[in-house]
Structure formats: C-alpha cells, structure tokens
C-alpha cells in the first residue's frame, strides 16, 4: 500500500491538501468577516459552498487509498463507484468562481459615485476573488489526481479525453447550479425536477443560446486555466529532474 501511495506522489500530495485546507479556512474567515458600509456581513453562506467544494477533494484522497490498498477486482468496483460520486460533486469546486457575482449583487452601489474608488468595495472584491482562485486551484488539484489514475488504467490519450469531459460536464453543472439553483443532491432527491429544468433549456431559443454561450465561456476558462496550471507543474517536474541529475 505504502509503495503505491508513494507512486501517487505521497506524501507530497498530502502536504498540498493540508496547505489548501489551511488556505480554505483563511479565505473563508476573510470573506465571512468582510462587512458592508452599514456593518452587515453578506457572505456568511460561503462556508457552505466551501464545504461542498471540499467533498470532491476528500473523495480524491479516498480514490488514492482504494487504488493503493484493495485487490484488483474489488478495487475496480470501488473506484468506479467512488469516481462517479466524485464526478457528481466535482462542479461544486469550480462553482466558487461564480460567487464573484455576489459582490455586485450585495454591495450598495450609489448612483453617480465611483464605487471602484471605495476601499470597502475592494475588500469585497479581493476577498471573493481569493475564494474563486482557491476554488479553481482545488478543482485542478483534484482533477489532475484523478487524471493520473485514469492514465495508469487507460493511457495518456484517454486521460486527457477524461479531463475534457469532466470540464465540459462541470460547465453544464455550473450553469444548472447558478441559473436553476440546482445542486448535487437533486440527482437523488429530485431527479424529475432536475430533468424538467434541463429539458426546458431546449424549449426556448433564447435560453438555449444563453446556455450554450455561458457553458462555453466557463469551459474555456476552466480548460485554459487547467492547461496553464499544468504548464507550471510540468516546469517544476523538469527542474526537479535537473536537480536530481
């Protein structure tokens, strides 16, 4: 088991998760304590969104443990089940980028004033931006970890098709979550309602266009950000090989 975990970049991966956990606590406390000019705290809901974002992160660790400790037959079954649950929850992590809208929805903009010159406004924007960046980072760490498992089982080409599929499905899930207020639990608790909401997209031309455009933009953001992050990681790997030599 321990040899397999080392082949999956442990204990380094464990250290990364600890750092991200600390950053999550810091960013959540930061944005929760940001106040409006009137003294109110409008972002207390972020703790719930952050908790949902951590579910796929924890499932990533579980996938690694299953891969490293179970025999092949049982391992394959458990990996498929856990992987499916991971996929259902994964959109909750990049979904954090859409919480940026709450700054513009809840901050008291006064007509005729240059709100971008107010320190209060930037406290809100930068705090929520930190949450968004952290959401992207956690999503990419989780996705790359699962991609490596797919690569071991099916090869590099299939693993990259897997990445594209996950990012595309996540883009669709973010649209459903943001505009229909759907969530992962609806897959089990209200599947008929979720199906009706998704079906309604294709019944209206304007809504269908908006769905395609929004999901396409989110997919582009996720894909470009993921590839950019991987470029930095690959540079790090190449430098590590140089140091070893």
Query: What string of pLDDT tens digits covers the 245 residues of the chain?
Result: 667 777 777 888 889 999 999 999 999 999 999 888 788 888 999 999 999 999 999 999 999 999 888 677 788 889 999 999 999 999 999 999 999 888 888 877 766 677 777 778 888 899 999 999 999 999 999 999 999 999 998 998 999 999 999 999 999 999 988 888 777 767 777 778 777 877 888 877 888 899 999 999 999 999 999 999 888 887 766 555 544 44
**Residue 111: per-residue pLDDT:** 65
* Residue 100 near residue 30 (C-beta atoms within 8 A): no
What is the predicted pLDDT for the residue at 6? 77
Q: Give me the pLDDT at residue 238, please.
A: 59
Closest CA to 183 of 19, 80, 48: 48
Confidence (pLDDT) at 243: 46
Structure tokens at 166: 């996950």
Give the count of domains, the chain.
Answer: 1
Residue 236 has a pLDDT of: 67
Contacts of 233 (CB under 8 A, 6+ apart): 144
Please, is 238 exposed, middle or buried when counting C-beta atoms within 10 Å of its C-beta (0-12, 13-18, 19+)? exposed
Per-residue model confidence (pLDDT) at position 165 = 96
Residue 194, pLDDT score: 75
- The residue range of the domain holding 207 is 2-244
Structure tokens at 43: 């972002």
């Amino acid at each position: 088991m321990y040899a397999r975990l080392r082949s999956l970049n442990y204990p380094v991966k464990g250290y990364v998760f600890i750092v991200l956990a600390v950053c999550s606590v810091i960013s959540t406390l930061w944005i929760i304590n940001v106040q409006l000019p009137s003294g109110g705290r409008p972002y207390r809901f972020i703790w719930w969104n952050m908790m949902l974002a951590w579910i796929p992160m924890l499932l990533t660790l579980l996938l690694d443990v299953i891969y490293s400790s179970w025999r092949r037959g049982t391992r394959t079954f458990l990996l498929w089940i856990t992987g499916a649950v991971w996929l259902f929850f994964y959109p909750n992590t990049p979904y954090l980028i859409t919480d940026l809208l709450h700054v513009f929805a809840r901050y008291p903009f006064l007509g005729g004033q240059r709100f971008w010159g107010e320190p209060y406004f930037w406290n809100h924007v930068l705090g929520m931006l930190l949450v968004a960046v952290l959401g992207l980072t956690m999503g990419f760490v989780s996705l790359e970890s699962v991609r490596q498992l797919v690569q071991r089982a099916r090869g590099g080409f299939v693993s990259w098709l897997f990445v594209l599929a996950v990012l595309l499905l996540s883009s669709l899930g973010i649209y459903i979550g943001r505009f229909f207020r759907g969530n992962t639990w609806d897959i089990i608790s209200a599947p008929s309602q979720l199906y009706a909401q998704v079906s309604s997209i294709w019944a209206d031309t304007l809504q269908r266009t908006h769905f395609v455009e929004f999901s396409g933009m989110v997919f582009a953001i996720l894909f470009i950000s993921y590839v950019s992050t991987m470029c930095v990681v690959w540079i790090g790997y190449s430098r590590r090989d140089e140091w070893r030599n």
